[in-house]
């Protein structure tokens, strides 16, 4: 039987022990019915893998004795790191994108408030939103067996998000691009070490945002004659790139 793997916050580690509470406690104790002596693997957001056993089960927390720790590696470390730069969509679509993107192997997510994004995040809401979004990627990583957790960052606008891009390959999904598709954009382009794809909200990119991305080296492309929903476009291009790079 395989050893259960769980994603944790490195702050839960102290003096060779990990203290786990909240949702993780509920999953380990109440769902999986794990007891003292059960082996498990803990992976933190810094990329370290900790192997240990449950030492104590209290009313609201589990104490794990860590026997060994080492840097965790994904089997995909030699393939391009893919970043999704996503303008905030409506409703629960953000969490869908984070969850499914994590399952498909996205390295990290840059979320930003697009000029045509319907939802708005006030400054006092940012910390809570980021905490929730990172919890979504951590849970998705645990569910699909990833060794690393994709990071999620938030930016107020496209200009702030694009300033973080130093990726080898930069693509902009733009519904007004007619000539250049993904296939032609990748023709004669060597496999990059890193790639980023910018995707707009339901109303598409504002012309000023398009200029901003192009000025920062992003190549506008189309995914065909049909206009896809924001979440569909994200998952479609992620799947296509992972297939091209032989990750799926």
Q: pLDDT (tens digit, 9 = 90+) per residue, 55-92?
A: 999 999 999 999 998 876 555 556 789 999 999 999 89
Contact 10, 45 (CB under 8 A): yes
Phi, psi of 45 (to 5 degrees): -70, -10
Which domains are assigned to the chain? Answer: 4-71 (2.40.240.20), 81-244 (3.40.1280.10)
pTM confidence score: 0.77
pLDDT in tens, 124-147: 898 999 989 988 998 898 788 787
Task: For residues 162 and 30, give the distance between their C-alpha atoms in angstroms, rounded to a whole number.
Answer: 43
């Amino acid at each position: 039987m395989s050893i259960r793997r769980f994603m944790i916050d490195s702050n839960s580690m102290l003096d060779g022990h990990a203290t786990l509470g909240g949702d993780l406690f509920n999953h380990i104790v109440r769902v999986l019915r794990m007891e003292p002596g059960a082996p498990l693997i803990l992976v933190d957001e810094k990329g370290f893998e900790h192997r240990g056993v449950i030492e104590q089960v209290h009313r609201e927390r589990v104490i794990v004795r860590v026997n060994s720790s080492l840097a965790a590696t994904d089997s995909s470390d030699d393939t391009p790191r893919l970043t999704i730069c996503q303008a905030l969509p409506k409703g629960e679509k953000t969490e869908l994108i984070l969850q499914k993107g994590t399952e498909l192997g996205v390295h990290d997510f840059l979320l930003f408030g697009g000029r045509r994004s319907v939802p708005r995040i006030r400054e006092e809401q940012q910390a809570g939103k980021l905490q929730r979004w990172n919890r979504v990627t951590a849970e998705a990583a645990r569910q699909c067996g990833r060794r690393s957790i994709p990071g999620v960052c938030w930016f107020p606008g496209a200009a702030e998000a694009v300033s973080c891009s130093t990726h080898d390959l930069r693509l902009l999904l733009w519904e007004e691009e007619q000539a250049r598709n993904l296939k032609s954009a990748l023709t004669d382009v060597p496999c990059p070490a890193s790639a980023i794809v910018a995707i707009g909200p339901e109303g598409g990119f504002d012309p000023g945002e398009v200029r901003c991305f192009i000025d920062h080296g992003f190549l506008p492309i189309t995914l065909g004659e049909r206009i896809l929903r924001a979440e569909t476009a994200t998952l479609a291009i992620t799947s296509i790139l992972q297939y091209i790079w032989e990750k799926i």
